[in-house]
A and B are shown apart, each in its own frame.
Chain A
Amino acid sequence: MGMGKDIFEITVNGLKLVVIFLMMVQMVPILVWLERRGSAFIQDRLGPNRVGPLGLMQLLADAVKFLTKENFVPQNAKTFLYYAAPVFALIPGAVAFSAIPMSSPIQVGTFEMFGSTWGPYTFLVQGYEIGVGIVFILGVSSLAAYTLLMAGWGSGNKYTLMGALRASAQTISYELALGLSIVGVIMLYGTFNLTEMTLAQQGPLSFTFLGHSIAANWLPNWGIFYQPLGAVLFFSAAFAESNRLPFDLAEGESELVGGFHTEYGGFKFNMFFIGEYGHMMIASGLMVLFFFGGYTIPFVSIAELNEWAAGVTSTAGKASALVALIHFLAFNIKFAFFMWVFIWVRWTLPRFRYDQLMDLGWKTMLPWALANTIITAFVIFIASL
């Protein structure tokens, strides 16, 4: 672990961190466009279609509009908190997103450059690999509750304060169900490391239960077939964590105006938006990693893919790059599907009332997550007898 052993490796790893951050930020306008077009499609409207082909330039127009807005601080606001909140909204998303493995590592062999030989390298397609991946990502992304409180308190407005309290109470309540729903996943794979989890999910579905070996060749070896309840609970809690509809009680035009970002406009509002979409990306990424095989391709094991790539390319480095590219595409297809589910659900379901929301979190999802943990432990224990 670390940045590398010589200047080349450190440079590449440093650039990788920048690229992953930019990837996260650049995905936001695309998702906003997708959301607006998708909602228009669902509601039988047209959506943005004037600026550029299919309205794609709308993103650029929006960004320019955000930047040209007037930048001022309301009189009651606490200036430091008011400015710090949108900036800190970016950080949890960026830090947690960097820990998600998006593809298999790229091997670079020895080569000559600037008159000296540069040794073999292995570059991971993720910001940094971290042994306690899950705990780290959950811990970092729950820091977003502070952002909400900073924004709500710092704006000096009663609507923002109420919205922030609502949003943070909701976030921490669903954090329980979120944390508990993946205890089963951890038990199943016996690791916190996200790459090891991904590797455990390749090939067809097969396991041993009570001394019988059970195999289903028509199903991939994905976590969802072992942890269906955990997957549903995790995904629902992730909706509440990212303050998305049907759990977007932080905002409410008739009672709270805009919630915690009522007093924000221009690029500061934009940063909150990036933070919210960052949460959705982390949730989708984790969903893919825990329950849908990560970057692996269903029915094709990594060894088979490596063999095929070695046949069609000349060097080992090129083969690993080709495999990494294929894995990256596979990851992104699954990832895009879950991002679309986020948008789809938003425009399909109505919202909850606040007491219903808290009841669902504490009295329904927490007991079910607990039941999932007990059942998983019991089945794993019985299967070993």
Chain B
Amino acid sequence: MPLGGVIFIVIFIALFGAFLVWLAANITGTKPVYNPVKYEPYECGIPGIEKKETKISVKYYLTAILFILFDIEIIFMYPWAISFREFISTGGGAFVFISMMVFIAIFIFGLFWEVKSKALEWD
């Protein structure tokens, strides 16, 4: 069986465990009694005035985009890191080291530009 199958077994076990807990909670739990206030969205004891869709800051969106950018660059370092010693032992160490330093220099430039353009300022 390929590895994917084993992972699905673990997911299934977790789902099954959650199902058992849900079942136990439904058997032992108190039966819901209707009360209009209870079903309202939580709002520190006063009637809620906002609609359910609230406005959110665009900063989160920006952070997510920057994350994707930098995370992909970091993922590129993994295969390099794992084969770095192999390259050194076969004599290609200097080439691999310098090319990665160029890549990291671009990375640092990107980070610097990002800080400079105040994309990371939270106020």
Report A's interface with B, CB cutoff 8 A.
1-3, 14, 17-18, 21, 25, 64, 66-72, 74-76, 86-87, 90-91, 94-95, 98, 127-128, 130, 135, 155-159, 161-162, 165, 168-169, 172-173, 175-176, 179-180, 183-184, 186-187, 190-192, 257, 262-263, 266-267, 270-271, 354-355, 358-359, 362-363, 366-367, 370, 373-374, 377-378, 380-381, 384
Given pairs A176-B71, A257-B44, 12 additional interface contacts (CB within 8 A) = A1-B2, A70-B29, A75-B39, A76-B52, A91-B11, A94-B13, A158-B54, A162-B54, A176-B74, A373-B81, A380-B85, A381-B94
Q: CB-CB < 8 A to A94: which residues of B?
A: 10-11, 13-14
Shortest Cβ distance from residue B57 to the other chain A in the assembled complex, whole angstroms: 8
A373-B25 in contact (CB<8A): no
- Given that A190-B84, A267-B21 are contacting pairs, would A67 and B28 also be in contact in the complex, using a CB cutoff of 8 Å? yes
Task: Give Cα A187 to B82, complex, Å.
Answer: 6
Q: CB-CB < 8 A to A367: which residues of B?
A: 108, 111
B1-A158 in contact (CB<8A): no
Interface of B is mostly: helix
Shortest Cβ distance from residue B53 to the other chain A in the assembled complex, whole angstroms: 9
Q: With CB as the reference atom, state the residue of chain A lying closest to B59.
A: A169
A187-B81 in contact (CB<8A): yes
Q: With CB as the reference atom, state the residue of chain A lying closest to B13.
A: A21
Q: With CB as the reference atom, state the residue of chain B lying closest to A383.
A: B88
Task: Give Cα A156 to B88, complex, Å.
Answer: 55
Task: Give Cα A91 to B3, complex, Å.
Answer: 16
For A17, give its contact among B9, B30, B75, B121 (CB under 8 Å). B9
A74-B40 in contact (CB<8A): yes
Shortest Cβ distance from residue B86 to the other chain A in the assembled complex, whole angstroms: 7
Q: With CB as the reference atom, state the residue of chain B lying closest to A129.
A: B3
Task: Give Cα A377 to B96, complex, Å.
Answer: 10
- Given that A183-B77, A186-B81, A190-B85 are contacting pairs, would A67 and B25 also be in contact in the complex, using a CB cutoff of 8 Å? yes
**B1-32: which have CB < 8 Å to A?**
1-3, 5-7, 9-11, 13-15, 17-18, 21-22, 24-26, 28-32
Q: With CB as the reference atom, state the residue of chain B lying closest to A18.
A: B13
Q: CB-CB < 8 A to B38: which residues of A?
A: 72
- Given that A355-B122, A380-B84 are contacting pairs, would A176 and B70 also be in contact in the complex, using a CB cutoff of 8 Å? yes
25 pairs across A/B with beta carbons < 8 Å?
A2-B2, A3-B1, A17-B6, A17-B9, A67-B25, A69-B29, A70-B29, A74-B41, A75-B41, A86-B18, A90-B14, A90-B18, A95-B10, A159-B42, A169-B64, A179-B71, A186-B78, A186-B82, A187-B81, A190-B83, A354-B122, A362-B111, A367-B111, A377-B100, A384-B93
Q: With CB as the reference atom, state the residue of chain A lying closest to B5.
A: A3
Q: CB-CB < 8 A to B121: which residues of A?
A: 355
Q: CB-CB < 8 A to B17: which residues of A?
A: 21, 25, 90
Report B's interface with A, CB cutoff 8 A.
1-3, 5-7, 9-11, 13-15, 17-18, 21-22, 24-26, 28-33, 38-44, 50, 52, 54, 56-57, 59-60, 63-64, 67, 70-71, 74-75, 77-78, 81-86, 88-89, 93-94, 97, 100-101, 104, 107-108, 111, 114-115, 120-123
Q: With CB as the reference atom, state the residue of chain B lying closest to A356.
A: B122
Q: CB-CB < 8 A to A128: which residues of B?
A: 3, 6-7
- Given that A366-B111, A377-B84 are contacting pairs, would A263 and B41 also be in contact in the complex, using a CB cutoff of 8 Å? yes
For B7, give its contact among A95, A358, A380 (CB under 8 Å). A95
A257-B3 in contact (CB<8A): no
Q: With CB as the reference atom, state the residue of chain B lying closest to A13.
A: B6
B63-A173 in contact (CB<8A): yes
- Given that A176-B70, A355-B122 are contacting pairs, would A95 and B84 also be in contact in the complex, using a CB cutoff of 8 Å? no
Q: CB-CB < 8 A to B43: which residues of A?
A: 157
A70-B74 in contact (CB<8A): no
B42-A157 in contact (CB<8A): yes
For B10, give its contact among A21, A355, A362 (CB under 8 Å). A21
Shortest Cβ distance from residue B46 to the other chain A in the assembled complex, whole angstroms: 13
For A169, give its contact among B10, B29, B63 (CB under 8 Å). B63
- Given that A68-B29, A190-B84, A367-B111 are contacting pairs, would A183 and B78 also be in contact in the complex, using a CB cutoff of 8 Å? yes
For A257, give its contact among B1, B42, B71, B83 (CB under 8 Å). B42
For B39, give its contact among A71, A74, A186, A355 (CB under 8 Å). A74
Task: Give Cα A157 to B21, complex, Å.
Answer: 25
Task: Give Cα A370 to B25, complex, Å.
Answer: 48
Task: Give Cα A18 to B15, complex, Å.
Answer: 12
A69-B50 in contact (CB<8A): no
- Given that A25-B17, A74-B40, A87-B15 are contacting pairs, would A172 and B64 also be in contact in the complex, using a CB cutoff of 8 Å? yes
B120-A266 in contact (CB<8A): no
B67-A374 in contact (CB<8A): no
